Amino acid sequence: MPETSASPAVHVPRPEEVPAVLALADRVQAADGHPPLNDQTRAVLARGGQRWWGVTRDADGTLTGAAALVPEAAEDGPGVVELAVDPAHRRAGLGGALAAAAARAVRDRDEGAETSAWAHGDLPGSAALARRHGLEAARELRRMRIDAAGLADLPPAVLPAGVRIRPFAPGRDEDTWLGLNADAFADHPEQGSLTRADLEARMAQEWFSAEGLLLAEDEDGTAVGYHWTKVTDDAGGEPEGEVYAVGVSPAAQGRGLGRTLTLAGLHHMAERSVAGVDLYVDAGNVPAVRLYDSLGFVLAAADVQYRPAAG
């Protein structure tokens, strides 16, 4: 149903339109250099776990925009809104219509005080929409990058005594990884609450490689850390890498495992001949930012999470 007679119509999509929504997000990423939907949102949409979603269409029925309200982490936890507008259909009021429809859905669900919205790349239009809906910046997620030449200059990964690194074994390591991840990210609003379903959804993605999920173990086989790498092909077929997540057990802190695992994963991706490697890090995580700075990563862009303004 349209939000107002003057606004583009926002429709409730059919379940079978999930691939079309994800394809739309891919077109936006190719144009902007930033994915408009994060992996959690894509995984939730793929399994039909969204709380609300809406789309706009052109005259022939082609999707021109999409927005979704999904759980940020736990299924019963706060929600997060993300939206995407096809680059060929911008400046036609679609973003405003989708944002208004999402705002109505949030109000109808009585989630306004907790729901946030992500602006990937923090484009000017996103900031303007946020202000229009009474939202203010609450968190900055930096995207940092190192190119192939920088990867070639990295030092080797030196393992602490008694530690070994091996690839993830599907069918055997799922529970081990989930426990390790929950411990390592106990204070993280999204990563630390990943479930078995979340893990399996990511393992089902085309980019997943068990060899690229590196587990660090002590001599007794206790998992003490991991580096999950992600390698994808861009539109031209050239591989691109990502430090998807690096986690270290609190019991293993202070042994240099974070730096070692980061380097191990970077070397793994370099062996795949990636053009470069991206990573996302909270601006407030000063030790991590310093580590990535020291390895040669530079700031490429920033994502901003918006929340309702105080008062």
Known binding residues for acetyl-CoA are 83-85, 246-248, 253-259, 285-290
Q: For residue 112, give the DSSP letter.
A: T
For 28, 152, 179, the CA distances from 21, given in Å and listed in that order, are 11, 37, 32
With CA atoms as reference, report the closest residue to 262 among 238, 235, 234, 296: 296
Burial of 175 (0-12, 13-18, 19+ CB in 10 A): exposed
Query: CA 201 to CA 189: how far, in whole Å?
Result: 19
Query: CA 240 to CA 296: how far, in whole Å?
Result: 17
The tokens 């980061």 sit on which residue? 262
**Annotated binding-site ranges:** 39, 83-85, 190, 230, 242, 246-248, 253-259, 280, 285-290
Chain centre distance of CA 94: 24
What residues have CB less than 8 Å from 285, skipping those under 6 apart? Answer: none
With CA atoms as reference, report the closest residue to 57 among 11, 18, 3, 124: 11
DSSP-assigned states of every residue in 193-259: G--HHHHHHHHTSTT--GGGEEEEE-TT--EEEEEEEEEEE-TTS-EEEEEEEEEE-GGGTTSSHHH
Query: CA 230 to CA 280: how far, in whole Å?
Result: 12
